[in-house]
Amino acid sequence: MSQIVLYWHPMSSATPVACALAELGVKHERVKIDITQGEQRRPDYLALNPNGKVPTLTVDGAPLFEALAIEMWLGETYGVQQGLWPAPGTPERLQAMAWSTWSYVTYGAQLVRLQAARDLGTPDDAHGTSAHKGLDQLLALLDARLAAQPWMLGQAYSLVDLIVGSVIGYSAYIGAPVGSHPHVAAWLGRVQARPAMQIDA
């Protein structure tokens, strides 16, 4: 079995990776990188992740960074046999890749805009309002999907729910109109209630 090490900081973009490891039951070591003290800029850490951010996962010493890449790798490596990630060559695998990327890239682009407006103290200016509208439109797409099925890929929970749910959950925290989309809100509650999501901060 591979030796897995997660470099993380609580309440950061590394948290969904920690949740995914818990959901899959993957044995691993966890190393805290104190981003409040600048430990992510130490030379030894930058050698693993030149971005100087968390998370980083090492597999037998080889580094993998970017949360989405780590989450999809975990799904492909450990999730298929547990029924938590679709098998290669299936239509569901294509949907898993598409929706996971959608959450981080398409939805994430609007989320970054809202975060920036919030950080500047101007969530109601033109930029913040535009970001809010963009998120609302994307949440409507997700709501339509979840109106037709209980989970992202159909009738069963998968890591796609964890991946997408982590992004949507954070967006709700900073003011995205998640509550205006009842199917999304109900689904998010189910995702967040899973034991693996209760990572100790």
Domains of the chain, each with CATH number or no CATH: 4-82 (3.40.30.10), 91-196 (1.20.1050.10)
- 86-119 b/e with 16+ CB inside 10 Å = b? beeeeebbebbeebbebbbeebbebbebbbebee
| Three-state DSSP state, 6 | strand
- pLDDT given at position 43: 96
Tell me which DSSP letter residue 86 carries. P
- Predicted TM-score (pTM) of the model is 0.94
62-65, strands of its sheet edge to edge: 29-32, 4-8, 56-59, 62-65
Identify the sign of the CA torsion 20, 67, 142, 85.
negative
Q: Residue 200's pLDDT is what? A: 64
Distance between first and last Cα of the chain: 28
If the chain, 201 residues long, is cut into consecutive pieces of 10 residues, what is the mean pLDDT of each piece?
Answer: 92 94 96 95 97 97 97 98 97 98 96 84 72 94 98 98 97 94 98 91 50
pLDDT at 120: 74
117's CB contacts (< 8 A; 6+ apart) are 123, 125, 127, 128, 131
C-alpha torsion 81→186→191→91, nearest 10: 30
Specify the pLDDT at position 123: 64
Neighbours of 171 (CB within 10 A): 23
For residue 113 the two structure tokens come to 């805009």
Q: Give pLDDT tens digits for 32-42.
A: 999 999 999 99
* Backbone dihedral angles phi then psi of residue 7, each to the nearest 5 degrees: -95, 120
Q: Identify the pLDDT of residue 196.
A: 95
Q: Compute the distance between CA of residue 93 and CA of residue 104 in angstroms, rounded to an integer.
A: 17
